Amino acid sequence: MNNKNLFISFFIKLIIFLVFGVLFYSGIFSKLDFRLYDSLLTQRKEPAADPNIMLVKIDDYAIKELGEWPWGRDTIADALLRMKELGVDTAIFDIEYISPTKNGIAPAAEQKIFKQVYATEDTINELISQLSAAINAGYVRASEVPALVSEMIAENIEPTFENLQTYIAENMSRDNDEYFARCLQFFGKVYLTINHDNLGYDITNEDKQYIIKRMLTDKIEDVSNLVELGNEYTSISTGEERGFNPAMNKLMTRAHGANFTNSVVDSDGVRRRIQLLVKFNDTYINQLAFGPFLEIADSNTLVREKDYLIVKNAKNVYTGKRKDLKIPLDSNGRLIINYRHGSSDESFKNDSIINIIHLDTFEEQILVCLNNIAQQAVYENDGSEMEYTRAAWYLLDEYDEITNMKDQLLSKCTGFNEDGSVIDGITPDEYSEYFNLRNQFYKDVNEFAFAGYLETVIQRLDKLANQLDKETVEELKTYLTEDFDNLKYFSDSFNDFMKELRELYQNAYCIIGNTATSTTDIGATPYITKYMNVGIHANVLNTLLNEDFIYNVRWQWGFLLAFALSIFMLTFIKASNAKQNIITFIAYLIYCLVWGGLFVFSKYYIQFIGTILCLVVDLAAGIGYRFFLSNKEKQFITQIASSFANKDTVNELRKNPDAFKTEGQKKCITALFSDIQKFSTLSESIGKLYGDEGPNKLIEILNEYLGQMSNEILRNSGNIDKYEGDAIISMFGAPDPMNAHTPEEWAYLCLDSAIRMKKVEVEFNQKHADLFEPKEITHEDGRKEIIQLKPLQTRIGVNSGEAFVGLMGSKTDTFSKLNYTMIGDTVNLASRLEGVNKAYGSWIMCSDDTWNMADSGAHKGTIAAKRLDQVRVVGRSTPVQLYSIVGFTNELTQEQSEQIDVFHAALDKYLTRDFANAGKLFMQANSMCGGDPIALVFADRCKNFIENGVADDWDGVINMTSK
């Protein structure tokens, strides 16, 4: 490519890359890039799951048992208490508690109220009994009774009923929001939500300031205000107005922290990235999982740099070592989430919240059983209750003590000050005492259930059977048996389930959210189109804890490298058009595969779909421009070469314009010369037979004959150099711009063609057998003459070696005659060998150079030949070993093969001057297969040498004195 074309190519590339650079900046390739990213992501090794991350699901199973969501907040509050007991480390709510709820029925309200009613009834009955006793004893006169009754009603009975009314009002309902709030503080590390979208909820400035001072952080170094810039970009790209919508203040004052739940949705609807910080009033809100991560990492100091968020002195959760953790961010300040590959259930530990609630169910059933057992008393002979009744009442009292302590501890959960100090909290010793009491209670219950009380009661009832109604005794047996069996079942179930859940929940970071089919909190991830969004926060936390980040390389780097590669390919790769296209394609493909592989096998991703498309367009433009230049060049080649070369030569030159050089190329080729035996006699005889039509008939015969012979040359990709009368001059191996064959293969193909030419010759002679029948002609003088044309027979000479090939001739303004031909000693020897056939009576003669190349490699032994003399031809001083080609080995008869062996045995004796035995063997060879002219030539020599002798320095080399 000349400088002008090089400059045009560079200019085309520059325009293409500038256009695609603008398109890249416009974001037009984003959706395509997202799809490529998702495809590559599936090929990456799945990140490990942190064993402590756990999803606590409000799922279909839970909703089926407890009814439609949302439930009363006391249900979640009770679950929190259980989670605390199970050893959960952190509770993260992916549920927004923005507005208050109505009061609910207080737990055990019915039992408490009935108990108070019964106590009130006892009080009033006691007052009436006292009044009646005083009247009967005469302490009160009849006239005083009305006044005394009025006084008792006013001072005793009415206040008692007022107290009952107050008790019922206070114990019938419960503020579940307050209860939930106290349970939040009781649990400890609970994180609620702050939605940073504008949802239209009002919040007082006092509440807002409390949250800002206590929940938000300002310990972030962000000199360039990169967090705010990233927030603005996300707001604009998602079309969401920023706001501040925290959970209700009653809950926020008891929670450990609060973070935002909002996730980033890419333009194709898939959640691939997340903001870790949102700026609000010169402070920052942490992402829902990022806040707990900072707590786990024991760091609250951050530095925002370009492409990174640095967590200072962060503690690794697995090693305990501290370092400045650099969290990579995309160009707009978002963390790329390194998702696990399956659904949220498949990716992390998970459990339905109903399983935690089942613990409460078991506990309630245990208390029911204990109450039933305690109230079904059986008495001893002395009138006292049996021991099981007292033991049951003891357990119930023990549980009441635990309940009272729980209420006492919850009463201390009054919140935190703005600086984070607790107002009236629970001490570690109090926690320990409370849970020890619970553990002891269930241990005592289990011991009670299996202590053998039932057997003792049954024995006692059997003894009382004669004293009591038999039906009553049996009924009591049935009830007690059922209650004790149920107690055993629920006690065992509770303890087993508690053990199982403790193993599951111990030290867990629980993320609580709705995963039921009715939820709308569903999004798409790179792996799953319908993904429970609560799982996104688990993946964020998992990415942070494992420090298994995806690094986003800015697209500009890949784009510039692609441009540099394109210029390199243009400037330094010098090859034919086809090769350059292929090399460029492979280079571009490798470039793209390197970037793809870099992401699949490491952690670095670059947006390069636009670069791929740019390279495709660049490649297409390059191919198009080179095709245009090539066509111009090929038109020139066709125009020039068609005037002197055959179709195949023209096509070869069109394929490889580099071969079209007047100065020529030095190549190893195999040259073939063929000539029809006694062609002059044939020409003369045809002239006699056909008269004036003789020339036309001769041309007709010759064209058909040469055409069929040429086809066998072209069949093996040989090139017809020229026709000289009845002679064919051809070459194998030039032009060969694609290096289709090795020199050895070209030598074989040339001999293959030579053998086939002789076969075609036989077929030609058979087809035109009538042409060779004797014909009588009458001359003008009346003489008659019998003329019989001889069948056409061609002698062929073949030689291999280096020769000069290329476009040769004259090209001037007045005359143009060019020919793609060959010159050199190799070519001359091939011509000489064709003539040498006459001396031996052979038809295909080749040199040892050709034979050694053809009879090698995969083709060794496939062609049969007779080794002849070494000869010194005219114009060449170095002897040449001659070979007469017989044919294809697999087509020879056994006799032909034996004839060759006999001939070679004779030749060996001939060369050792054993002419007598050699002559006999040559004659034996001649007697086989209908004769062997070559063997007769050697037999005559042997006879001559026997009669006349040979010189002392005779070495078997024959000097040819004619061409």
Residue 451 phi/psi, 5-degree rounding, is -80, -5
- Buried b / exposed e over 654-686, threshold 16 CB at 10 Å, is bbbbebbeeebeebbbbbbbbbbbebeebbebb
In this predicted structure, which of 316-320, 448-452, 576-580, 782-786 has the lowest mean pLDDT?
Answer: 576-580
- Average pLDDT of the segment spanning 547-557: 88
Closest to 920 in 3D by CA, of 905, 937, 939, 904: 939
In this predicted structure, which of 9-13, 104-108, 475-479, 934-938 has the lowest mean pLDDT?
Answer: 104-108
Identify the DSSP state of 931: -
The three-class DSSP label of residue 515 is coil
Q: Over 80: is that where the pLDDT of 748 sits?
A: yes
- Average pLDDT of the segment spanning 563-583: 75
Do residues 210 and 194 touch, judged by C-beta distance below 8 A? no
d(CA 243, CA 280): 9
Kindly list the domain boundaries of the chain, sorted by start residue: 3-46+559-595+608-634, 109-174, 662-857, 861-963
Closest to 233 in 3D by CA, of 268, 267, 281, 284: 267
Which helix (H) or strand (E) element contains residue 185? Answer: helix 176-187
| Predicted local confidence at residue 585, as pLDDT | 82
The three-class DSSP label of residue 960 is coil
The three-class DSSP label of residue 45 is coil
Lookup: tokens for 64:
């089926």
- Average pLDDT of the segment spanning 482-499: 95
Bigger pLDDT: 171 vs 847: 847
Angle of helix 73-86 relative to helix 470-505, nearest 10 degrees, comes to: 70
Lookup: tokens for 771:
């042409």
Give residue 813's pLDDT band: very low, low, confident or very high (50, 70, 90): low
Is domain 662-857 annotated with CATH 3.30.70.1230? yes
- Average pLDDT of the segment spanning 532-561: 91
Closest to 493 in 3D by CA, of 321, 369, 395: 369
Percent of the chain at pLDDT exceeding 70: 91
- The model carries a pTM of 0.64
Residue with tokens 């002609």: 777
| Predicted local confidence at residue 573, as pLDDT | 65
Beta strand 302-305 pairing with 308-315: antiparallel
Per-chain mean pLDDT for the chain: 87
Q: How distant, in Å, are the alpha carbons of 307, 755, 845 from that of 865?
A: 77, 11, 9
- Average pLDDT of the segment spanning 740-747: 93
Lookup: tokens for 2:
């000349």
Lookup: tokens for 493:
């179930």
- Buried b / exposed e over 391-419, threshold 16 CB at 10 Å, is bbbebeebbeebeeeeeebbebbebbeee
Tell me the pLDDT tens digit for each residue of 581-626: 788 888 888 888 888 888 888 888 888 787 888 888 887 887 777 6
| Predicted local confidence at residue 732, as pLDDT | 94
Bigger pLDDT: 595 vs 867: 867
| Predicted local confidence at residue 686, as pLDDT | 83
Say which amino acid occupies 706: L
Which helix (H) or strand (E) element contains residue 93? Answer: strand 90-93
d(CA 109, CA 439): 25
Residue with tokens 């569903």: 522
Q: Over 60: is that where the pLDDT of 154 sits?
A: yes
Q: What is the per-residue DSSP string for 271-326?
A: --EE-SEEEETTEEEEBTTHHHHHHHTT---EEEETTEEEEEEEEPTTT--EEEEE
| Predicted local confidence at residue 821, as pLDDT | 87
Give residue 640's pLDDT band: very low, low, confident or very high (50, 70, 90): low
In this predicted structure, which of 252-266, 809-823, 836-850 has the lowest mean pLDDT?
Answer: 809-823
- Average pLDDT of the segment spanning 158-174: 72
- Buried b / exposed e over 855-884, threshold 16 CB at 10 Å, is beeebeeebbbbbbbbbbbeeeeebbbbbb
Q: Over 90: is that where the pLDDT of 33 sits?
A: no
Alpha-helical regions (H) of 466-531: 470-505
Q: How distant, in Å, are the alpha carbons of 147, 189, 549, 686, 698 from that of 772?
A: 167, 114, 90, 11, 13
Do residues 843 and 758 touch, judged by C-beta distance below 8 A? yes
| Predicted local confidence at residue 633, as pLDDT | 67
Residue with tokens 């070679």: 904
Closest to 83 in 3D by CA, of 191, 187, 190: 187
Query: Hey, which residues does 795 pair with through a beta bridge?
Result: 675
* CA 480 to chain centroid: 65
Q: How distant, in Å, are the alpha carbons of 29, 595, 616, 930 from that of 612?
A: 11, 10, 6, 72
Query: Hey, which residues does 3 pair with through a beta bridge?
Result: none
Alpha-helical regions (H) of 772-930: 825-840, 848-854, 894-911, 915-926
| Predicted local confidence at residue 211, as pLDDT | 92
Identify the DSSP state of 464: G
d(CA 817, CA 821): 12
Q: Over 50: is that where the pLDDT of 47 sits?
A: yes
| Predicted local confidence at residue 519, as pLDDT | 87
Q: Is 228 exposed, middle or buried (0-12, 13-18, 19+ CB in 10 A)?
A: middle
Q: Over 60: is that where the pLDDT of 575 sits?
A: no
Bigger pLDDT: 860 vs 780: 860
* CA 233 to chain centroid: 30
Q: How distant, in Å, are the alpha carbons of 331, 780, 897 from that of 224?
A: 14, 118, 93
Which helix (H) or strand (E) element contains residue 190? Answer: strand 190-197
Say which amino acid occupies 928: M
Q: Over 90: is that where the pLDDT of 642 sits?
A: no
CA atoms lying within 13 Å on the CB side of residue 76: 29
Q: Over 80: is that where the pLDDT of 201 sits?
A: no
| Predicted local confidence at residue 644, as pLDDT | 41
Bigger pLDDT: 486 vs 33: 486
Do residues 833 and 713 touch, judged by C-beta distance below 8 A? no
| Predicted local confidence at residue 643, as pLDDT | 41
Tell me the pLDDT tens digit for each residue of 432-482: 999 999 999 999 999 999 998 989 988 888 888 777 778 888 888 899 999
- Average pLDDT of the segment spanning 841-855: 96
| Predicted local confidence at residue 168, as pLDDT | 67
Q: Is 334 exposed, middle or buried (0-12, 13-18, 19+ CB in 10 A)?
A: buried
d(CA 389, CA 382): 15
d(CA 432, CA 920): 122
Q: Over 70: is that where the pLDDT of 317 sits?
A: yes
Contacts of 860 (CB under 8 A, 6+ apart): none
